[in-house]
Amino acid sequence: MLKKMFKAYLYLVSAGVRESKRRSSQSTDGMLISSMCSPLIWTLPIWGRDEDIAKEKLLKDIRLQFLKLNAYIEDQRASFQLGTKEADAFKLCSSTITQQFLVSKQKAEALYSVVQLRPPFTNNFKLRKFAIDLRVQEERMCAIIESYSVFRVTLTATVSQNQLEAAQQWVGEINTLYPPIAADPVDEKLL
């Protein structure tokens, strides 16, 4: 953003110089350039300061969003810890959900650590992208939990001999929609 403002400044200066060459009177040249450039020179530091304030607010929002996501993952993960008396079908679903939680948590931690390591070099656009990526992780977990809540009703109503097969099918669908692979490394070149 600062580069664009500087280019606009240079354009206005060059336009003022061209205009001043066109005029015959030397006494008005200095006034013309100063009248064109003065407002821009005073606004450049204000724009930079506003951008810094926006970046600090965005970093704070990302931190709060990360903490909220971590707390949500831990709460949900604890609620999916099953006892030893549960059927194998429910254990399979529970372990799949736990695995998905860990993948989302790993991805969120990778994103957050990159944001923390490079705040001075990261612009607001990239910070917003990180915030969106964190929201995607949260929405992913909500979708999986909602899917399981609906499926659990079906699984409970299923005959116990068919429960494991139904659970395997559900796990396959979830793993297809949300591959349980390790988090993608964050490309630091993008920063």
Residue 89 in any domain: the answer is yes
Q: State residue 190's pLDDT score.
A: 47
Residue 39 in any domain: the answer is no
Q: State residue 189's pLDDT score.
A: 54
pLDDT in tens, 28-73: 545 545 555 555 554 554 555 677 788 888 889 989 999 999 999 8
Reported as a pLDDT band with limits 50, 70 and 90, residue 11 is: low
Contact 117, 144 (CB under 8 A): no
Q: Tell me the C-alpha distance between 37 and 149, whole Å.
A: 63
Residue 32 in any domain: the answer is no
Segments forming the whole domain that contains residue 132: 55-190
pTM of the model: 0.64
| Higher pLDDT among residues 7 and 34, named by residue | 7
Q: State residue 146's pLDDT score.
A: 93
| Higher pLDDT among residues 25 and 125, named by residue | 125
Distances, alpha carbon 117 to alpha carbons 1, 48, 61, 188, in Å: 22, 21, 16, 10
Residue 90 in any domain: the answer is yes
- Let me know if 25 is exposed, middle or buried by CB neighbors in 10 A (0-12, 13-18, 19+): exposed
Residue 178 in any domain: the answer is yes
Q: How far is CA 121 from the centre of its chain?
A: 16
Q: Considering its fold, how many domains does the chain have in total?
A: 1
| Mean pLDDT, residues 84-89 taken together | 78
Q: State residue 51's pLDDT score.
A: 72
Q: State residue 167's pLDDT score.
A: 94
- Both tokens assigned to 17: 């110089």
